[in-house]
Amino acid sequence: MITTWPAPAKLNLFLYITGRRPDGYHTLQTLFQFLDYGDTLTIEPDTSGSVSLTTPLSGVKPDENLIVRAAEALKHAAAARGTLPAQAGAKIALTKRLPMGGGLGGGSSDAATVLVALNHLWRCQLSVDHLADIGVTLGADVPVFVRGHAAFAEGVGEQLTPADPAEKWYLVAHPGVSIATPDLFRDADLTRNSPIRTLDELLQRPFHNDCEAVARKRFREVDALLSWLLEYAPSRLTGTGACVFAEFNTESEAREVLELAPKWCSGFVARGVNTSPLQHTLSGL
Ligand code: C5P
């Protein structure tokens, strides 16, 4: 039986970098919200004993693809608990809408959807906490997608407190460049000393992303796109970029501005949602 699963995008509504750990990872305070827009995975469980991705991504080796790695990590954990069905396998196809290196969490969301979907389809019975623990070994943003609720994140992004920011409409614009997260985090000019604040304090201040100045400095396309968007609405970088987003109260306002976007960029309009579309799929089964 072929099943279809959403892998939604995320936005970082704000992102502050508060320090750097000895292992090089940065400590953050960020507010994650999902979009009702993203990739789609079709998953056909089988008894082949192996997991294959039938839609390879150019530039990503199959065994480095987060989808395959997530499936292997789940198998390993479920086998250790004795809850992996014999010969558990699957064919997975990905319809990719989220750009790579875009700051929308596409790869992390794909991985989280694989963990949640195969846990269900294979009846592994791993808890959400256990899936989130597996997720963080794949990427710092995976746990929030596994848990499926908008969240204030601290630590390297894995310490999550559920949150309910306003569900606005967003115009998300892609400047046509891809930003490698490790490169941006290595930049000497990156702000790494934002003070640690409470969520209440952060919600009362204007939202800001500490990665934005460095992304604008390194990529003139990001700089130009943000300057353009800021003429219309409050706008910021998401994650480490390269996408930027502008917030609106209505869908029609966001679509009107999208119509005016410069030819060299691409974009879409989507609603910010505090419950992940993946959760709706899971609870509808
Ligand atoms: O966890 P993820 O694969 O998204 O991280 C990619 C890279 O970004 C890490 O290898 C690290 O260099 C950097 N990073 C960081 N601090 C974080 C998250 C990521 O320095 N909180």
Calpha distance 78→70 (Å, rounded): 12
Look over the chain and give the mean of its residue pLDDT values, rounded to a whole number.
96
When pLDDT is cut at 50, 70 and 90, the band that residue 159 belongs to is: very high
Instruction: Evaluate if residue 48 carries a pLDDT over 80.
Output: yes
When pLDDT is cut at 50, 70 and 90, the band that residue 127 belongs to is: very high
Instruction: Evaluate if residue 85 carries a pLDDT over 90.
Output: no
The Cβ of residue 71 has, within 10 Å, a number of other Cβ atoms equal to 26
% pLDDT > 90, the chain: 93
DSSP helix, strand, coil percent of the chain (3-state; round to 5):
35, 30, 35
Is 10 labeled as catalytic in the residue annotation? yes
Is 23 labeled as catalytic in the residue annotation? no
* Ligand 1 within 6 A of CB of 158: no
The model's pTM is 0.96
When pLDDT is cut at 50, 70 and 90, the band that residue 187 belongs to is: very high
Instruction: Evaluate if residue 177 carries a pLDDT over 80.
Output: yes
* Ligand 1 within 6 A of CB of 25: yes
127 is in an annotated binding site: no
Distance 25 CA to ligand 1 centre (A): 6
User: Parallel, antiparallel, or unpaired for β 169-174 and 159-162?
Assistant: unpaired
Instruction: Evaluate if residue 62 carries a pLDDT over 80.
Output: no
When pLDDT is cut at 50, 70 and 90, the band that residue 57 belongs to is: confident
Q: Whose CA is nearest to atom 12 of ligand 1?
A: 182
176 is in an annotated binding site: no
Q: What is the pLDDT of residue 59?
A: 79
38 is in an annotated binding site: no
**Could you give the 3-state DSSP secondary structure of residue 95?**
strand
- Model confidence pLDDT, tens digit, residues 206-225: 999 999 999 999 999 999 99
